[in-house]
Structure 1
């Protein structure tokens, strides 16, 4: 603990003592007030006991007052007068603790049991006054009471007088409240003064001690010029003056020592090697650093011809590799400075430095600046530099050269499912496979993320296509990550030849465009850049930009297609479908923009819009025409939407906001989406079903078509794909298949909807098979809700 804390602690103790003293005084003051109240109450009670036992004082001479104890009416009048005039509650008790008189008439004749400690009985027995707290149901906080004996003629004990002295106690305490406040204020002022005085004194002492400490630390660190310069006559000031005198003497002594040893110490402790050479070129002096750098030691250098390992030169710095006796080598930079006297060379000074680590660090920095840290491949900067040189050589000599742009397909899935360490291992393995699949002089670079580039010099387009296929084959092999197999493919864009280009960035950009064309073509392939690809990419970017604003600009439109209940052919439900009212291209069907929305991640926002609009539209329809409205609305759910953690909350919010009953909402998913992660999908769908929402399998029969998932995944509706209906009429085997699907669904308690009904013959045949719900252009095309309502109202229905 430092001095200041000790001083402040001492003053804090003094303040605590002052506070304790104040507390004692307050306690004594309160105790005195309590004692005064008790004494006063006891005196009053004794006077009342005397009046009750012997009667009130005589008003005239010769009058003999009768004791009030034997006159119930006089006693009652006496007690009531004291109660009314002095607000005193008095109870008169006989020897058996029976109440003889009380301000409360109902208590007269009852036994006094409010002294839980038996104080009244003790007072009657030993004739000593006592105090106690009366607690009862009427006064749970307690009443302060004093009891005195009731002594009659000849000292006979007749009972006791119980007097409430709470008001008297409160008056006594209130009378001393001003004194207590004064004491508290005085104590607080004393504490503040003590603390302030302690702070000032401690600050004064510690400030000078700290000044002296800093001066000592300065001298300890080698600066002998430090001084305290304290003024005053107390002990600390005299100590500071003595210290300044001592520091001055030390400074003078140090100068004398340094003047003598300065040169030797510099040479001995210099980080650079220093050698003195005589006129014959032999080393006559060497410091420790020179011996360490050369590996010969300072003594081993003496007498050695410097030219044996350090070629002579001018005063400019030279750098050579130097072999040490122990077999290691270092890079040494040195200068030779000639010493001339009277125009004659009398020797030289050689200064040498070990620059091995510096050169290694410079190499590492250059390598890191131009190479990818994870794979060790050239990075984008180095690749562009080599590409520019290759383009220059191709233009000058007419050589062929090709650039490949590679992007891994499915890397994100591996990275997200197996972790970033597995993703890094996959990228390193990818780099190794690419290098192995190409020629030694080809440049393979990692541009960032899962994107790579290859520069094939001396390769025309046919040759480049061969190597591009080699890259595809190398990366199509399974990757083993942490004991698990992972499959990825690669999409490759190719620019060949590159001699016609003047900008390396343009070559790489066009290869990137061709790579996106390969992804659009189906992934796992390569595409050669053509000019129209760039236009297609720009068109795609434009469409993406306009689609991003479509929701906010109100360009999306909700259409519904009826689901007809058979055989009555009434509207059982509707399926919600989205259209885009593109300002430039008119009303767009889902096939023209949904794939783009899925690729860019906009599908989640569109799905959310369709869900809300569908719920709102059907709820309004139900409110407008309850008897003619559909019983449910189906909304398609994309794979992206299914993976959103708060999907259940979003559906619940849409239902709560629109007021649509959860039983009127059916969420449709394809078999492919359902089977992506069976465990996660089943849990997510079970959450939705707990809301009351129904789950439908869309395009049933086109995906996995495994009856096992019907057992594991909670579903309510099967929607048979239109491919089962095409060619149904006249094909007995296909009819048996559709009939089996219908019977399977009905047996499992599922609602089965057959899609793609386009003719009356198909509808009649399905009705005979027992089909209960159908959907298709023959029954109604997708249209706005208002149009469908008007058509139903007009009776223009199938």
Structure 2
């Protein structure tokens, strides 16, 4: 393609660019109108979502706003007003996309399925507004929809609001149509002018370029006598004059270029030091890089003996052959530099020595080797280096036929809590301090390594059983001391697995695995201790892993069972309430009591899902019972909450959802927490419990008397019920001092206006004593065993436990 065509092509490209710009502007205008419609729709939907979540502004001062989300009639009226006054069609769904309110009332209660991309679910999950197109059977054209989350006071997404904004979009597009027409007209005129101007300029320029091109072709063939005489004062004329000057200089420079080729070939690699050495071993040439590398400078090298100036050179004849070597060169200032050098002979005239500074490269290689074998945080050997040392130690032990080599596997207890609460920097500081304490607690010849996370390992050589156990105890003692992390005291412990006599194992990996198994056994025993590996620990660990796996699926597979235990009113002699208890119908082991799986659930974090299931099922069971037999149903149901639930941000919303979904009155729900859980952080706990009480839910202290038993928290924490632990009821008949204690607790609860429930009543004598002490409520096997809700609600003898077991004189 010649210059003319290129110029024309450039102007045509410019015209195309103008056209593309116009198209972009048109698209941007349309997109802007569409975005404006979406923004307006999101604002409208957001306002509606806020009204639904928080309630309409009060009509009079002093009134409180009532959320519309849980009031179907008010919500339907609100949507009807929006439809009548603003012609806005809105659909409100809950977290499960069940339609709570719609402009079409017949759809209420159905699942919203018109978003093919499941945009409503995504908005509920991440709280971000989205748009989608709905293709409805009742509308010939697609409907544009925007969905926004309905967020409660605790910033928890409760559902979503879906608003149709098709009409708003059409209005925005109609308003921008005149601007688009003006853009099209202006673009067409610009394109026509650009094409015409390009044709004129291309014709003018190409005539003169053709003349210059013909002259260049002559010069290319070696005829430097050709000159170009372009008239004028423009750039092309100046280019012609410069061309003529260049041809004159080319002829003069040709000989100079040939003379410099040899020198240029020597100095091609200017970054490397180059020295020319004659047959007598004297340096006859040196470049600047050689002077810099040796520290002598160019003048300091010229004329010097090569072996004296370049100390790395071999003692044999320099011109004997080519050599590639490396050595350390001492500079005059006392510093040393690592150099790689090459000696190349040049016939009988001497040699060329090429030097390259590799100090940084070798230092980097050393650092990489260290990083590959050491932990970057603590500087300790890492897993790879530890296993290598262990393999060598096992080889030495086998050769010496001794059993004096052992491995300790250490895992910090409570590290995750410090890391999560104080941050990763605090966790890193704790790990560094742990490494220092372990090194101080061990012998100089022992190897301590960080395997990853909060896991460490120790290799002990020449250590008998007594020494091994002493070092393990020393590690325990060193890490049981409080850590000072970012000005705060952090208390952690360590669980240690010990494998003594490693020479009998196949490889280092097997030893480390067994030490890991022993460490897990130490954790299972109670943490903060060490255990020596025994073969049966493998089976115990596998059994635990199997139980954990099956428990994870128990909720989803429907293997959990709800049992209810009656709480009896000793005055009216009938069931006043029930306590919800969970059982696991394990397909392999049958019905499991809570003690068999709740501790595992708490360790693995599954307890929150189990508690959530129990809460919903308990509310549903008691509500159905109340609807079926209002006069013979319990007035409340108690549900236990574990400590992990207080860390869940949406706990209040979970409880509110369970109550709203099942229809159970909040006053019929009692949430039980132990003293230890309540005392973790009184300020946070009090605030969270106050939120729950605002729903109308009551709070009970379970196992009262077994935890802190501080009267102060009864003042600071909002509670409604005290449950006296069964340990105080057991043996009550034969212990007058214990009777006085239980009586004092009952009177204390009544004085504070609390409901007191005595747990673990198993004999008639216990029941008589509690009645004389003024106890109003009691539960236990004597009054009724836990049973499935359907059995309990249909068995009059079990429900009205007092009728069967409570003696008449207790009334």
- Structure 1 length-normalised TM: 0.71
**Aligned residue number for residue 699 of structure 2:** 695
Residues 1:773 and 2:777 are matched in the alignment: yes
Aligned equivalent of 1:194 = 189
Cα deviation per residue 1:364-409 (whole Å; 9 max; x = unaligned)?
1111122111111111122222222222222222242111111101
Cα pair distance change 1:711/1:198, threshold 3 Å: farther
1:298-349 C-alpha deviation (Å, 9 max, x unpaired): 11012222222133255232211121111111111112223323xxxx3221
For the 8 Å contact 2:312–2:326, the answer to whether it is kept is: no
2:337 alignment partner in structure 1:
330
Query: What is the alpha-carbon distance in structure 2 between the residues aligned to residue 209 and residue 750 of structure 1?
Result: 104
Alpha-carbon deviation of 1:594? 0.6
Do residues 394 (structure 1) and 397 (structure 2) align? yes
State the secondary structure of the residue aligned to 2:732. Answer: coil
Q: What's 2:562 paired with?
A: 558
2:341 is the alignment partner of 1:348? no
Q: Does 1:449 find its partner at 2:453?
A: yes
Match of 1:661? 665
Give the Cα separation in 1 of the matches to 2:779 and 2:238. 103
Correspondence for 2:260: 261
Deviation at 1:645, TM superposition (A): 0.7
Matches within 5 A, 1:273-312: 273-308=273-308, 309-312=311-314
Distance 1:377 1:234, change over 3 A: farther
Residues 312 and 328 of structure 2 are in contact (CA less than 8 Å); yes or no, is this contact kept in structure 1? no
Pair 1:379-2:382 in alignment: yes
Aligned pair partner of 1:506 in 510, 529, 554: 510
Q: Is the 8 A contact 2:497 2:530 kept in 1?
A: yes
Give the alignment of 1:173-188 within 5 angstroms.
Answer: none
Aligned equivalents of 1:264 and 1:764: distance in 2?
A: 116
Structure 1 position 568, deviation (Å) = 2.5
Question: Is contact 1:694–1:716 with CA below 8 Å preserved after alignment?
Answer: yes
* TM superposition shift of 1:203: 7.6
Over the aligned positions, Cα root-mean-square deviation in angstroms equals 3.5
After superposition, residues 455-494 of structure 1 pair within 5 angstroms as 455-494=459-498
Is 1:521 equivalent to 2:528 in the alignment?
no
- Which residue of 2 is the match for residue 544 of structure 1? 548
Residue 580 (structure 1) aligns with: 584
Q: What pairs with 1:56-71 in structure 2 (closer than 5 Å)? A: none
SS at match of 2:347: strand
Q: 1:186 to 1:569 in 2, by over 3 A?
A: closer
The answer as to whether partners of 1:283 and 1:304 remain within 8 angstroms in 2 is yes
Alpha-carbon distance in structure 2 between the residues aligned to 1:185 and 1:699: 75
**What is the CA-CA distance between 1:234 and the residue it aligns to?**
12
C-alpha contact (below 8 Å) 2:797/2:804 kept by paired residues: no
- Give the match for residue 593 of structure 2: 589
Instruction: Name which of 316, 323, 346 aligns with 1:316.
Output: 323
* Map of 1:369 onto structure 2: 372
Secondary structure, in 3 states, of the residue corresponding to 2:572? Answer: coil
Distance 2:594 2:573 in 1: 27
2:501 to 491, 497, 501: 497
1:427 pairs with 2:431:
yes
Distance in 2 of aligned mates of 1:253 and 1:530: 93
SS in 1 for 2:630: coil
For residues 424 and 355 of structure 1, what CA distance do their matches in structure 2 show?
35
Give me the whole-angstrom Cα distance separating, in 2, the residues matched to 1:368 and 1:752: 63
Q: What pairs up with 1:408-423 in 2 under 5 angstroms?
A: 408-423=412-427
Task: Indicate if the aligned counterparts of 1:267 and 1:287 stay in contact, CA closer than 8 A.
Answer: no
* CA distance in structure 2 between the aligned counterparts of 1:406 and 1:288, rounded to whole angstroms: 57
Cα distance in structure 1, aligned partners of 2:774 and 2:204? 104
Aligned to 2:323, the other structure's residue is in SS state coil
CA–CA separation in structure 1 for the residues paired with 2:322 and 2:436? 49
Q: CA deviation at 1:207?
A: 11
Contact 1:391 1:502 in 2 (8 A): no
Return the match for 1:605 from 609, 614, 626: 609
Inter-CA distance 303–709: structure 2 relative to 1 (3 Å threshold): same
Which is worse superposed, 711-720 or 727-736? Answer: 727-736
Identify which of 777, 788, 793 aligns with 1:789.
793
Instruction: Say which of 690, 695, 719 aligns to 1:686.
Output: 690
**Which SS does the other structure have where 1:352 is aligned?**
strand
Is the Cα contact below 8 Å between 1:721 and 1:754 reproduced in 2?
yes
- Stretches of structure 1 that go unaligned for 5 or more consecutive residues are 16-182, 212-223, 226-232
Q: Deviations over 1:628-685 (max 9, x none)?
A: 1000000000111121111111111111111111110111000111111111111111
- Rounded Cα–Cα distance in structure 2 between residues aligned with 1:445 and 1:187: 75
Q: Shift in Å at residue 746 of structure 1?
A: 0.8
Asked if 1:620 corresponds to 2:619, the answer is: no
Q: How does 1:34-49 map to 2 (within 5 A)?
A: none
Q: What is the CA-CA distance between 1:790 and the residue it aligns to?
A: 2.8
Aligned equivalents of 1:607, 1:317: Cα separation in 2:
73
User: What CA distance in whole angstroms lies between the structure 1 residues aligned with 2:264 and 2:578?
Assistant: 97
CA displacement at 1:714 relative to structure 2? 0.8
- SS of structure 2 residue aligned to 1:756: coil
Distance change in 2, residues 1:409/1:270 (3 Å): same
Whose radius of gyration is greater, 1 or 2?
1
Residues 688/359 of structure 1: CA separation in 2 closer, same or farther (3 Å cut): same
**Counterparts of 2:460 and 2:180 in 1: how far apart (Å)?**
93
Distance 1:190 1:645, change over 3 A: closer
Contact in 1 for aligned 2:675/2:704 (Cα 8 Å): yes
Q: 1:792 to 1:262 in 2, by over 3 A?
A: farther
Q: Please say if residues 208 and 236 of structure 1, whose CA atoms lie closer than 8 Å, have aligned partners that are also in contact.
A: no
- Greater relative contact order (Cα < 8 A, sep 6+): 2
**Partners of 1:517 and 1:248 in 2: how far apart?**
88
- Structure 2: how far apart are the matches of 1:353 and 1:368? 26
| Alpha-carbon spacing, 1:688–1:266, altered in 2? closer, same or farther (3 Å) | farther
Query: How much has 1:292 moved relative to structure 2?
Result: 0.8
Q: What SS does structure 2 have at the residue aligned with 1:704?
A: coil
Q: Is the 8 A contact 1:559 1:578 kept in 2?
A: yes
Q: TM-score, normalised by structure 2?
A: 0.70
Secondary structure (helix, strand or coil) at the match of 1:408 reads strand
SS at match of 1:797: helix
Q: In 1, distance between residues paired with 2:505 and 2:205?
A: 73
1:700 Cα deviation after fit: 0.4
Distance 1:200 1:682 in 2: 78
CA distance in 1, matches of 2:608, 2:198: 67
What does the per-residue CA deviation read over 1:460-508, in whole Å, with 9 as the maximum and x for residues that have no partner? 3322111111111111112111111111111111112111112222211
Alpha-carbon separation, structure 2, partners of 1:252 and 1:397? 85
Q: How far apart in 2 are the matches of 1:210 and 1:409?
A: 83
- Classify 1:529/1:186 alpha carbon distance in 2 versus 1 (closer, same or farther; 3 Å): closer
